[in-house]
Amino acid sequence: MNVPQTTDPIMAPETAQLEGLLREALAGTALEPPLTEVLERVDSTNARLLEAARMDAGPRVCLARAQLAGRGRRGRAWVAPPDAGLALSLSWPIAADQRVPAAYPVGVGIGVIRALEALGVEGPGLKWPNDVVVGTAKLGGILVEQRLPRSDRPGRLVVGVGLNRRGSGALGLDREVTDLEALLDGQGPDWLALAAEVAGWQMRLHRVLMAQGLAALGDDLDRLDVLAGRTIEVPDTGLAGVARGICLDSGRLRVEDEAGLLHHLDAGEVSIRRAGHA
């Protein structure tokens, strides 16, 4: 879906610096360096890259210091005050004959976690379908969107990543959240270094995911899936049961109900049922 920008983006001076960090991150990979822009503010980094589909045919990276209308899954707002979060999007052209694997978004989550581990974060996990968590606290999330190709322009695959860098306790949210500064004893990574690490992993994994799907990351998924083996609930449907892992082909969550019937979930809210909860 194309979401028009309502606020004119303001360019930031760090674009050249991020370009250099990405060149270093991709050194030796033979990957095409992305067209990169760093903005002081923008409505949505994802929307900007979806709108940019006519402008070029290569990969792109957009980083914003402040995102005024960020979107999460199911149309929710992504809350991130200026300089308190990471608002990063990447995009690639998609040809008419290319198929994006259904489990691609799960692979994106694994890539984000690999970047966090490289930066010293201990214990990050993936809570299906798109949350990055540490313990029971949400650290960030992803949003994957696709613009289908037409005769007058290529299609576009856009990956949005949002992470809390600091100040998560002041967000006033109704769920448990955390941030990198809290997890790293007040020594959270530099804004640009964090963006380069996350983008570098996504650039490297994109080619793998498009060619092989999630099967290439099965070992990572086994260790990072925080729902596997847990008793969960799906409030939208009332389903309750034990999570039996994420399907490598479809990206669906498998849930075994009390009768032993296996359900395959495409999307939806999932909560872990706490001990003693009826």
Q: What distance in Å separates the CA atoms of residue 4 and residue 43, rounded to the nearest whole number?
A: 9
- For each of the domains in the chain, give its residue range(s) and CATH number, in order of start: 10-224 (3.30.930.10), 231-272 (2.30.30)
pLDDT of the residue at 272? 78
Query: Using one digit for the tens of pLDDT, what is the confidence trace for 4-49?
Result: 455 667 888 999 999 999 999 999 999 988 999 999 999 899 999 9
Q: What distance in Å separates the CA atoms of residue 64 and residue 78, rounded to the nearest whole number?
A: 13
pLDDT of the residue at 175? 80
For tokens 């009332």, the residue is: 238
User: Residues near 147 by Cβ (< 8 Å), separated by ≥ 6?
Assistant: 2, 50, 53, 94, 155, 156, 158
User: Residues near 175 by Cβ (< 8 Å), separated by ≥ 6?
Assistant: 138
> Is 16 buried (19+), middle (13-18) or exposed (0-12) by CB count in 10 A?
exposed
3-state secondary structure of 179: coil
Q: What distance in Å separates the CA atoms of residue 225 and residue 215, rounded to the nearest whole number?
A: 14
Compute mean pLDDT per 10 residues along the chain, 278 residues long, and list them.
58 94 94 93 91 73 87 57 88 90 97 98 96 95 91 88 87 81 92 97 96 95 96 90 96 96 88 57
Q: How many CB atoms lie within 10 A of CB 24?
A: 10
- Does the pTM of the predicted model rise above 0.85? yes
DSSP state of 164: E
